[in-house]
Structure 1
Amino acid sequence: MTPSTTSPVVMGVIALELAAGNLPQRAALAAAEASELAGKLGRDLATHAPQVRDLDLVFAAAHFDPAEALRPGWPLHQRLRELHQRAPGRGDGARVIAFGADDAGDVPLPLQADAGLGGGLLRVLPFVLAGDHHTVDVVAERLETVLLETGMAQADTALLAQTAFGAQIEHARYMTLHDLAAMTAMQYEHGGLGALWPVIETALMAPAEEQWLDTLPEPLLRYAEGEVHIALFEPMAWRARYAPREATDERLERAYQHFQARQQQIAAVLEAHGIPVTFAHCPANADPRTAMA
């Protein structure tokens, strides 16, 4: 039976922490380097879960912003699952399948990173482990338990990634997607965006559910049916909710500009995670939650 793209797999990434001011020179590796790095990836993972050797390893030797890996439907990993279905050699035992740049050095569309998210110091390379359900479950449980604490790549793996991508790498480690989500949540908390994470998490883990951000002084927003609506208040409605004590026009103007900047920041973060954003008009003298429902 041909496995479907909805069958269980282990989804993870190699996370490359880059030195400041040292972005990778190459977006993706050529076939030989991609295969070599995939082989070291499989070897490293097998030290944590030996059953990895019984699974197909499907690897993209191209780097992405973490937000691209944390999008509803897990599109990066879904692409790998689709490519896995079309790869030759099914039934010949566990395979290591690596994808990267084509013969001309160009990155094919399924593996092209978002150019607007290219400046971060953490880049991730996605992989999936696929095979029979029992082995996948055993490996998934093991890697979820150990990788976050002990998932550093071996030295020759990190050196190969550094040389092949043309980047100075401070650390290279393995993470499951749940590990990556947990790390991102912590980073957002430290960066003042902790209140937004439950909305992103709902879109990732429970997309059919509803989630509100309704905590002052944050913008009001609602996630439902795959998108986020951010309340766009009329001036008097905004003042009543956010700045009832601001007495002078100058203070009100500064507060309003800060609020608008925060709205745009939140919208940009959501869109980086592939969550569509629209602004919902909320008139004065109306319940904004009712207007957005």
Structure 2
Amino acid sequence: MTKPLISIEALARRYPAPGGTETTVFENVWLPIAKGEFVCLIGHSGCGKTTILNVLAGLDQPSAGVVIVDGREISGPSLDRAVIFQGHSLLPWMSVMGNIAFAVTSRHPDWPKDKVRAHCQKYIDVVHLTGSEHKKPAELSGGMKQRVGIARALAIEPKMLLMDEPFSALDALTRGSLQDEVRRICTETEQTVFMITHDVDEAMLLADKIVLMTNGPGAKIAEIVENTLPKDRRRTDIHKHDSYYALRNHLLDFLVTRSKTFASEIAGKSYDPRRPPLVRPGETAAAAPPEIAPARAASA
């Protein structure tokens, strides 16, 4: 098995509770992510999705376990990991070019201004904002602001792109357009992505693998779903593929029913958190993934 770029190992997050006890949000989470893989995490509120993303970003510390990125243990924020939040998080006094250049100069402080500007322009063009370089955030629509956030994240050329429901506040047409852009960009650049979403259709369009979390507290990975739709899928014809309804119904059934009953399903059965079930709806069930061997890593 190829060594994963990202390895989440025995991750847990607990918070103090009244009476000197603890509330466990999630426990013993194991997940490998290969280079160039687009992974979506789905689960109900309270299962710790954003907490896991914050740990990956280095913005939060786990109560137990580690995250290894390219052989190094995460110990804090890094420019190797870029985050796109639900809000655009742009600096309002800077232009589109200025917001992206701020990130690029943080990554490459030794670059001359002309090289920084040319590098920024490349990603402004990629997200189709050519001509808006000198506009301030107040002059942009919500979708355009998110495009700037995407360009800023990609411009630092991170090893991992983290996305926390970045399109949830947008109208349907803008959201669909940006989803198409993200899929195109990430496919062309082979960008490794970890994304949180509540939108089943979004996950089906974007993800190579969809990770299903049970309800919290005490949430765990119930299974990993491999996307059985063709790699060249498009929004306009995704519903025409043979495995579309099998995949969609499987995800919806989990969210509506199995996310609540999973604990009782595995009672008395063998469940290995290092090898959560790997399923391919619409096709013959896949074999369980190999057990994740804990990695020895340097601090990052």
Q: Which bracket does the TM-score occupy, shorter chain normalised?
A: under 0.3
In our comparison, the structure showing a higher alpha carbon Rg is: 1
The structure with the largest helix share of the pair is 1
